[in-house]
Amino acid sequence: MKLKAMSLLLLAAVVLQAQQPPLQTPSHDDTLRGPYGPFRANNDLLYYHLDIRVDPVQKTIRGHNLIRFRMLQQGSRIQLELIPTLAIDGITLGHTPLKYTRDSGTVYVDFPQPLHAGRTYTIDFRYSGSPQETGRFGCFTFKQDPSGHPWINTACEETGASVWWPNKDQWRDEPQEGMDISVAVPNALTDVSNGRFVRKVDLHDGYTRWDYRVHYPINNYDVSLNIGNYAHFSGKHKDLTLDFYALPEDLDKAKKQFAQANGMLDAYEHYFGEYPFKKDGYKLIQVPYSGMEHQSAVTYGNHFANGYLERDWTGVGISTRFDFIIIHESGHEWFGNAITAADRSDMWIHEGWTTYLELLYVEYHYGHADAIKYANGLKPKVRNRAPIIPARNLNISPPQDMYFKGALFLNTLRSVIDDDKKWFALIHDFYQHFKYQTIMTEDVVAYFNQQIGQDLTPLFDEYLRHATLPTLDLTFNPEQETVTYKWVADEAAFAMPIRVGTPGHWQLIHPTTQPQTLKTDLSPQTFNKDIFTADTDNYFVNLDKH
């Protein structure tokens, strides 16, 4: 499990959060799956062994998941999930069949005698059926490649892993001892899953089972199978193994494009430290959808072209220098997979940070000026219509501002800290401190406050918990050559230094929500409402001059 205890302060924040209107109306299923309720909180996941057989002709799956957990308190019921369209073929503890109750996607498993706090138990959950395509990437798709071979893939972050396998379908608790994944497929096909390839076993019935061992905690939605007529090639980045899988007809293109994994690893290891899943290796696997950050088994469907689906993603001529899917999805190995948000509402920890990693990739390879250009290319994607962090405990995805506004906020924070050496040490240490854990926004804020030695909470809250951007209000008084400045912000305590003046002649001011007056050293010609400005390239704010 990657679990952190909630402090009282945090619980208070949760209550406050819960009062915010949700972004979309949660379904009955969301209200069951969103909260970390008593039948989840009474146990701590240790291990899964998912072992299934996939029939491409019948379009069915059949198998079981061994679920090992430690009881944290005595109890006779635990909560798991499996989509109602898949049949439960039995749940057992040793030889004892267990009773269960299904409510929407939730499965309450009941034990004949209470389980004891501190003891470890393993249940065997057998299931079968035809997974239905749903959600953005289809969740579980039975497709064919262009040459007519079966091509079967999973990608279910939004809908949840229980769309194809039974598990504790939430983000807070991960199996801390890792996972084994066994997938039996017809002999001619290959399965690529997360973790280290262990062996393949001929089952002598026309099927071969592919066994993978995941050595680290893993998000349930990262658990992935990719079945196809794959060709394989491998490489090395220092002592990290790289394994690449593509359709044979795309092999040459893949060899060229997938080489970008090296530059990605150079950049992210420079800023944050070693690739987090070294025992499992790094894989890049061709799939029929755009791509997904499946832990140690990143999937790729970006047409073997730079940019994003052959577009200049940020429109400023920089995206075309690299493959967006390789750079973005692999960034999630650090933020999303190694560090995971405990609740979906805190998903900016995945997407805001990983979008910020794109900026760092650009900075590492092309320099700071291009990174800032790239950052500013994100601005047209920001909506400012709803807070980045929605209500908690509702299984609701935050608005897309978590990506672009999230990254621009982090870039702004770098300007606030105004010391690159300090900034890079801070984000490196932040990652190292929290890797392999699930965390909440409060953990991020507390860590930054403690390391920097000042209370940045109103700043985080302004950007993450309110819809609108802070506005720097400048009132000019030409006769006295002064300008009165203040922040117009939702947080009364919002205070953020910012550079004002003219490009190349900035001066740092410390506005709060109370007006202050500045007498500039600018000449009367440049001290002019039309020329005097703020460094909005490095601080993501609105400007109101009058």
* Residue 82 or 439 having the CB closest to Zn ion: 439
In the complex, what is the shortest distance from the CB of residue 320 to Zn ion, in angstroms, rounded to a whole number?
20
- Name the DSSP letter for residue 335: B
Using CA atoms, how far apart are residues 469 and 490, in angstroms rounded to an integer? 9
Phi-psi region of 448 (alpha: psi -120 to 50; beta: other; left: phi over 0): alpha
- Nearer to Zn ion by C-beta: 29 or 351? 351
Pick the stretch among 116-124, 145-153, 198-206, 348-356 that binds Zn ion (CB under 5 A): 348-356
**Other residues' Cβ atoms within 10 Å of the Cβ of residue 108:** 15
Q: Using an 8 Å Cβ cutoff, are 294 and 224 in contact? A: yes
Classify 362 in phi/psi space as left (phi over 0), alpha (psi -120 to 50) or beta: alpha
Residues 491-520 that bind Zn ion (CB under 5 A): none
Q: Work out how close the CB of 398 gets to Zn ion at its nearest, in angstroms, rounded to a whole number.
A: 12
Q: How far is the CB of 308 from Zn ion (least distance, A)?
A: 11
Interface stretch with Zn ion, choices 74-82, 347-355, 435-443, 475-483 (CB under 5 A) = 347-355
Q: 301-340 mask for Zn ion (x: CB under 5 A)?
A: ----------------------------------------
Number of residues that bind Zn ion (CB under 5 A): 2
480 vs 152: CA distance, rounded Å = 71
Query: Whole-angstrom Cα distance, residue 445 to residue 456?
Result: 7
Nearer to Zn ion, 294 or 499 (CB): 294
- Residue whose CB is less far from Zn ion, 226 or 354: 354
CB 26 → Zn ion: shortest distance, Å? 23
Q: By the 8 A CB rule, do 291 and 300 touch? A: yes
Shortest Å distance, C-beta 498 to Zn ion: 29
Residues 352-381 close enough to bind Zn ion by CB under 5 A: 354
213 versus 294: smaller Cβ distance to Zn ion: 294
Do 264 and 283 touch, CB atoms closer than 8 A?
Answer: no
**Minimum distance from residue 331 beta carbon to Zn ion (Å):** 8
With respect to Zn ion, which residue has the nearer C-beta, 357 or 391? 357
Task: Pick between residue 257 and residue 354 the one whose CB is nearest to Zn ion.
Answer: 354
Strand ranges inside 314-470, DSSP E:
339-341, 437-439
Report d(CA 29, CA 5) in Å as an integer.
26
Please name the residue that has the structure tokens 């400005």. 533
Minimum CB separation of residue 350 from Zn ion in Å reads 6
In the three-class reduction of DSSP (H, G, I as helix; E, B as strand; rest coil), residue 383 is classed as coil
- Please give the residue ranges that form the binding site for Zn ion (CB under 5 A): 351, 354
